[in-house]
């Protein structure tokens, strides 16, 4: 390869590095564009190394050169590859033949990092150093590390001024003959295999348990703190530690922090003023930052025992309800949502009003979850909030709230349920009917009986009719029995007889469901009815009664 | 080294060096026909041939204290530490610098090498013996150990000095920044420590030599850097990875950060502290923990640094300060820093303790503390690192020469390298460095240490010799 061709190849490599730096930031590693960029870049290196041992790039502020020839130049402040390397002190990068695709990709990943973000504690030189590439070497200028340019010279000058007094040295020499022999009292014990074994165990454990240790030390600080400012600061440490352990997914340590803080709050000899600081930390643990992190833990798929989450929730107060509801809408996994729902079921009774605010959430599934939580809490105070949700735009929410109203019951729900029985949506009518069945009160029964007795009922769809009778059968009393027998006996008018026969058939069906064997004679009688539908339903009801189903 | 292929290569290389060591050791006990030796040789042959078939050639080279295989530096591995040390010692003894394996090796080739290697230990010119005996073995070449060229050594010394003073200057800057409420650049701190780690790995003795100079005015900053260097060096002996060494260096650099809150009139008090003043001094670990936690957001490094700042005076048996309510086990990093801290403090002239101890005296006091204040196992490694006569020790030799220990010898701890400052004629001299492992024709040591003296008693400025 001629020198000009080499120069061209070096330029192309720099351009492909620049391109790859952008692409890596934009695409995930499995994206075809990413893969192709890496392949192209490596192909350029491979072509170059067919003819050369290494590629040495010298870096200046706005220029990269190869064998004194400029291969890149830019005066931009952003997106300037030369400046990007230069500002961290990189002055030369050498790629050696033998460079593997993996090494090259790792190098590109390093330079593609967003170093402007605070969270990155390393500069490019540190990352290259840590990666310890076998085939990528670099030279970095460390002069920028000194805080004072002239420190070394100044210090050395000062030392020189104190140069040795020859007399002192000669005195030492003479004394060495007169003083008694003193050899070092220290001795070197040879290292044994047992020492090495012990050391290996030590190193194996190094790195683990540091957070727990720090937490232990933080819990020493209350006893080593003196001023209000010390305690203020300690509060910040605890909140930061809480954030850190949650970021690390360590809910067990979080629980330990909360448990120990609760213990301190319970200590009679600790001043109430100081306890306020500890309460603040506990409150923070149920705040939006920590709860958001909890959501991330739960959604990460990390295995976590239910009892650990339950313990954490036990330490929280009602202020955790809003952030928990917020995170509920963001969670992706069903299991995670179940855990948060359980947490809200636990915390909800502490502040029903806060929980009710979740009913206004824009996300239908959150509203449905909140209604479910109210159902599980089973606090009748929730009814007033739920009633406002009955007209929700999403039918799934409406069904859930009607169900909840049925479970919670109380006088306030009947009017709404009655109205729902007239709803245009069959699913809502069905939900309201079943809710009335769940209420199971006389008033509820009356609503159903009135509805069936209404003239218009005969025009109701057969399946819906059947559902009414099914629900009615939940009241296993004489009134219902008599009502049903009466209906079964009713002679159909000529006009509209088919609709009436449906009602009679449903009555037979409901008698079967009631389980009262007193209905056997009448059912047996109508087993031979002229209407095929009545015959069939009477027969089925008899069988049901015979088999006690 | 992250890729699977590289990790594999590194693992194979470590095992290869270990196997050579096993073969050489076994050959010193058994004759060539022994079954155990034959089996070890066969295993070694298989390992070499496998690597040669992959790489075409296999060059094992000793540079400084490290082995390289085909230019890859093989890091110390704790599991093979003793065998690695054995190899370094035996290669150096024979001035053997490298062994090159070319083509497929046979067991007989290895047997020839073993014979040459063992014969050399009785020779006056050990390398030549090996070289001559190996002339007929086509597939194995040997090379002599390269001496460090004087100019190179000067350049290296310059770099070491620069690293050291950069670190001190940076530390001073950090403290000033924290005091004035400015943000501290952790990225820079890491770079500073990485440079020190590199120097410890490459030029351990020179950088350790820098810590022996105690004539600086700004004790606090130099002390932080010295502790960092001593801790990294010890960590290296313990087999820590580069990343771990960086962490260790970082936590050590900030271990005394709590002292910046001690009022200057106490810190700079030229006489002994009274009880009240001691009470304030004893608070610096707690202040240190607080300062670090305020410095930046919580992460692994912050946590480790805070723990070390808190624990470094607690002592191995928790007899130190601060006193705490719960029984805890001191962190490994804290135990390392505690050792380095005590050693550097004892051998330094601090404001409140004007009279420093000589390095060997400090070591003997520390020996008494091993098991109570200090971790006995780590202390064992520490003494193996600094030697019986640490750098900076003033020694009188049986040759009537006065010298300063300028380099310890990890293989022969009582035979360091010494810079002669007064020759046997009683004349001041500077610069001649002699190795106490040197022997005469009768295989006797030419010089030995007869006694140690306290350099502080004579106001000897080590900087003049060691810088």
Interacting residues of B297 by C-beta distance below 8 A, sequence separation 6+: A240
Residue B3 has pLDDT above 70, yes or no: no
Nearest alpha-carbon partner for B175 in B139, B138, B132, B221: B221
Which range is least confidently modeled, A127-131, A217-221, B11-15, B231-235? Answer: B11-15
Residue B239 has pLDDT above 70, yes or no: yes
Residue B372 has pLDDT above 90, yes or no: yes
Nearest alpha-carbon partner for B418 in B409, B428, B406, B408: B406
A105 lies in some domain: yes
CATH number at residue A545: 1.25.10
A281 lies in some domain: yes
Q: Which of A179-188, B84-93, B297-306 holds the top average pLDDT? A: B297-306
Last residue of a domain, one of A301, A321, A350: A350
Q: Are residues B379 and B339 in contact, defined by beta-carbon separation less than 8 angstroms?
A: yes
Contact: A179, B451; criterion CB under 8 Å: yes
Contact: B187, A122; criterion CB under 8 Å: yes
Residue B102 corresponds to which tokens in the numbers above?
Answer: 């070319």
C-alpha A302/C-alpha B400 separation (Å) is 71
Contact: A217, B307; criterion CB under 8 Å: yes
Mutation target among B161, B174, B458 for the A interface, most CBs of A within 10 A: B458
Q: How far is B303 from chain A (nearest CA, A)?
A: 7
Q: Look over chain A and give the mean of its residue pLDDT values, rounded to a whole number.
A: 90
Q: Is the reported ipTM for this assembly greater than 0.90? A: no
Q: How far is A387 from chain B (nearest CA, A)?
A: 47
When pLDDT is averaged across residues B47-62 and rounded to a whole number, the result is 88
Chain A residues within an 8 Å CB radius of B457: 172
Which residue ranges make up each domain of chain B?
A: 4-144, 150-386, 394-466
Give the number of beta-carbon pairs within 8 Å between A and B: 252
Q: Does B385 touch chain A (CB under 8 A)?
A: no
pLDDT tens string A21-76: 999 999 999 999 999 999 999 999 999 998 889 999 999 989 999 998 999 999 88
CA angle A154, A157, A158 (to 5 degrees): 90
Q: Which of residues 337-366 of B touch A (CB under 8 A)?
A: 360-361, 363-364, 366
C-alpha B340/C-alpha B321 separation (Å) is 17
Task: Return the pLDDT at B1.
Answer: 44
Chain B residues within an 8 Å CB radius of A270: none
Q: How far is A377 from chain B (nearest CA, A)?
A: 39
- Which CATH code for domain B150-386? 1.10.3210.10
Which of B174, B216, B325 comes nearest A223 by C-beta? Answer: B325
Chain B residues within an 8 Å CB radius of A117: none
Mutation target among A124, A135, A213 for the B interface, most CBs of B within 10 A: A213
- Sign of the CA dihedral with A253 first, then A256, A262, and A264 last: negative
Q: State whether residue A92 is helix, strand or coil.
A: strand
Question: Pairing between strand A136-140 and B72-74?
Answer: unpaired
Task: Return the pLDDT at B53.
Answer: 86
Contact: B460, A184; criterion CB under 8 Å: no
Q: How far is B167 from chain A (nearest CA, A)?
A: 7
Which of B380, B389, B467 comes nearest A191 by C-beta? Answer: B380
Last residue of a domain, one of A350, A385, A411: A350
Chain A residues within an 8 Å CB radius of B349: none
Q: Which of A178-192, B155-169, B326-340 holds the top average pLDDT? A: B326-340
Which range is least confidently modeled, A16-20, A323-327, A446-450, B262-266? Answer: B262-266
CA angle A461, A467, A473 (to 5 degrees): 140
A64 lies in some domain: yes
pLDDT tens string A255-294: 999 999 999 999 999 999 999 999 999 999 999 999 999 9
Chain A residues within an 8 Å CB radius of B300: 210
Q: Are residues A132 and A147 in contact, defined by beta-carbon separation less than 8 angstroms?
A: no
Chain A residues within an 8 Å CB radius of B463: 156, 159, 162
Nearest alpha-carbon partner for A505 in A517, A513, A495: A513
Identify whether residues A108 and A7 lie together within a single domain. Answer: yes
Contact: B81, A164; criterion CB under 8 Å: no
Residue B150 has pLDDT above 90, yes or no: no
A417 lies in some domain: no
Chain A residues within an 8 Å CB radius of B466: none
Domain around A547: 471-549
Q: Are residues B100 and B58 in contact, defined by beta-carbon separation less than 8 angstroms?
A: yes
The alpha-helical segments, DSSP class H, found in B94-185 are 107-120, 126-133, 150-179
Residue B78 has pLDDT above 70, yes or no: no
The domain tally of chain A equals 3
pLDDT tens string B210-230: 888 776 667 888 999 999 999
Which of B78, B191, B402 comes nearest A196 by C-beta? Answer: B78
Contact: B450, A181; criterion CB under 8 Å: yes
Nearest alpha-carbon partner for A259 in A308, A302, A221: A308
Task: Return the pLDDT at A186.
Answer: 63
Contact: A168, B388; criterion CB under 8 Å: no
Closest A-chain CA to B463: A159
Q: How far is B125 from chain A (nearest CA, A)?
A: 29
């Amino acid at each position: 390869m001629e020198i000009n061709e080499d120069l061209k190849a070096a330029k192309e490599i720099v351009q492909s590095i620049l391109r790859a730096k952008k692409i890596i930031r934009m695409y995930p590693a499995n994206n075809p564009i990413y893969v192709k960029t890496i392949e192209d870049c490596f192909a350029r290196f491979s072509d170059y190394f067919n003819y050369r041992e290494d590629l040495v790039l010298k870096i200046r502020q706005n220029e990269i050169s190869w064998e004194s020839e400029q291969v890149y130049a830019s005066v931009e402040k952003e997106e300037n590859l030369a400046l990007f390397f230069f500002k961290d002190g990189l002055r030369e990068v050498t790629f050696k033949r033998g460079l593997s695709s993996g090494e090259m990709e790792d190098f590109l990943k390093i330079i593609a990092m967003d170093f402007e973000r605070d969270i990155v504690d390393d500069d490019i030189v540190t990352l290259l150093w840590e990666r310890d590439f076998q085939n990528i070497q670099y030279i970095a200028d460390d002069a920028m590390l000194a805080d004072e340019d002239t420190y070394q010279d100044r210090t050395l000058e000062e030392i020189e001024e104190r140069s040795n007094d020859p007399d002192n040295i000669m005195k030492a020499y003479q004394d060495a003959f007169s003083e008694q022999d003193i050899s070092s009292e220290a001795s070197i014990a040879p290292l044994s295999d047992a020492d090495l074994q012990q050391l290996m165990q030590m190193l194996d454990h190094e790195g683990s348990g540091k957070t727990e240790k720090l937490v232990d030390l933080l819990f020493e600080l209350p006893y080593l703190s003196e001023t209000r400012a010390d305690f203020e600061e300690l509060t910040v440490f605890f909140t930061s530690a809480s954030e850190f352990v949650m970021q690390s997914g360590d809910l067990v340590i979080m629980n330990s922090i909360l448990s120990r803080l609760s213990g301190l709050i319970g200590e009679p000899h600790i001043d109430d003023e100081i306890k306020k600081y500890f309460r603040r930390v506990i409150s923070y643990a149920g705040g939006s930052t920590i709860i958001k992190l909890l959501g991330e833990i739960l959604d990460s798929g990390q295995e976590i025992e239910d009892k650990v989450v339950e313990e954490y929730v036990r330490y929280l107060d009602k202020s955790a309800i809003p952030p928990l509801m917020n995170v509920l809408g963001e969670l992706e996994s069903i299991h995670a949502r179940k855990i948060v729902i359980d947490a809200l079921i636990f915390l909800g009774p502490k502040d029903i009003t806060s929980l009710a605010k979740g009913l206004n959430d824009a996300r239908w599934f959150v509203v449905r979850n909140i209604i479910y939580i109210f159902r599980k809490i089973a606090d009748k105070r929730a009814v007033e909030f739920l009633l406002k949700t009955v007209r929700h735009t999403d039918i799934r929410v409406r069904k859930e709230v009607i169900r909840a109203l049925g479970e919670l019951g109380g006088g306030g729900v009947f009017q709404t349920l009655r109205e729902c029985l007239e709803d245009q949506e069959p699913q809502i009518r069905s939900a309201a009917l079943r809710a009335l069945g769940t209420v199971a009160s006389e008033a509820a029964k009356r609503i159903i009986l009135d509805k069936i007795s209404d003239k218009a009922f005969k025009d109701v769809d057969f399946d819906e009719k059947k559902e009414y009778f099914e629900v009615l059968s939940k009241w296993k009393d004489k009134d219902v029995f008599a009502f049903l027998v009466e209906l079964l006996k009713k002679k159909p008018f000529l006009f509209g007889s088919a609709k009436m026969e449906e009602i009679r058939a449903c009555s037979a069906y409901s008698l079967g469901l009631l389980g009262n064997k007193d209905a056997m004679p009448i059912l047996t009688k109508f087993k031979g009815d002229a209407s095929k539908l009545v015959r069939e339903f009477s027969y089925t009801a008899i069988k049901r009664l015979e088999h006690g189903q | 080294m992250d890729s699977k292929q590289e990790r594999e290569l590194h693992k194979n290389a470590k095992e290869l060096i270990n196997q050579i060591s096993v073969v050489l050791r076994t050959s010193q006990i058994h004759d060539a026909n022994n079954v155990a030796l034959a089996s070890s040789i066969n295993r070694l042959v298989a390992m070499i041939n496998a690597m040669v078939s992959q790489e075409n050639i296999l060059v094992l080279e000793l540079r400084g204290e490290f082995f390289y295989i085909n230019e890859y530096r093989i890091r110390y591995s704790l599991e093979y530490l003793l065998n690695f040390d054995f190899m370094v010692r035996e290669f150096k003894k024979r001035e053997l610098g490298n062994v090159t394996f070319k083509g497929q090796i046979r067991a007989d080739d290895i047997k020839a090498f073993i014979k040459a290697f063992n014969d050399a230990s009785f020779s006056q010119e050990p390398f030549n013996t090996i070289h001559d005996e190996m002339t007929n073995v086509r597939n194995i070449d040997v090379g002599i150990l390269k001496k460090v060229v004087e100019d190179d050594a000067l350049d290296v010394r310059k770099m070491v000095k620069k690293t050291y003073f950069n670190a001190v200057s940076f530390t001073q800057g950090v403290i000033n920044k924290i005091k004035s409420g400015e943000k501290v650049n952790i990225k820079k701190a890491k770079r500073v420590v990485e440079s020190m780690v590199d120097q410890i790995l490459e030029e351990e003795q020179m950088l350790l030599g820098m810590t022996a100079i105690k004539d600086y005015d700004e004790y606090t900053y130099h002390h932080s850097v010295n502790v960092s260097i001593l801790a990294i060096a010890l960590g290296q002996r313990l087999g820590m990875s580069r990343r771990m060494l960086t962490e260790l260096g970082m936590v050590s650099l900030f271990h005394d950060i709590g002292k910046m809150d001690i009022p200057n009139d106490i810190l700079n008090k030229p006489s002994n502290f009274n009880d009240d003043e001691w009470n304030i001094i004893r608070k610096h670990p707690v202040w240190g923990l607080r300062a670090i936690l305020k410095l930046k957001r919580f992460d692994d490094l912050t946590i480790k640094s805070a723990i070390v700042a808190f624990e470094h005076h607690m002592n191995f048996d928790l007899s130190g300060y601060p006193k705490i309510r719960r029984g805890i086990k001191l962190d490994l990093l804290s135990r390392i820093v505690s050792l380095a801290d005590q050693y550097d403090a004892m051998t330094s002239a601090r404001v409140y303790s004007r009279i420093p101890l000589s390095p060997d005296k400090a070591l003997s006091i520390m020996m008494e503390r091993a098991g109570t204040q200090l971790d006995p196992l780590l202390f064992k490694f520490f003494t193996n690192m600094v030697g019986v006569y640490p750098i900076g020790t003033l020694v009188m030799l049986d040759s009537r020469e006065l010298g300063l220990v300028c380099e310890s010898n990890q293989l022969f701890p009582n035979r360091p390298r010494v810079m002669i400052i007064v020759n046997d004629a009683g004349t001041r001299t500077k610069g001649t460095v002699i190795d106490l492992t040197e022997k005469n024709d009768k295989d006797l040591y030419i010089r030995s240490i007869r006694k140690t003296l306290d350099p502080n008693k004579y106001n000897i400025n080590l900087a003049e010799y060691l810088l």
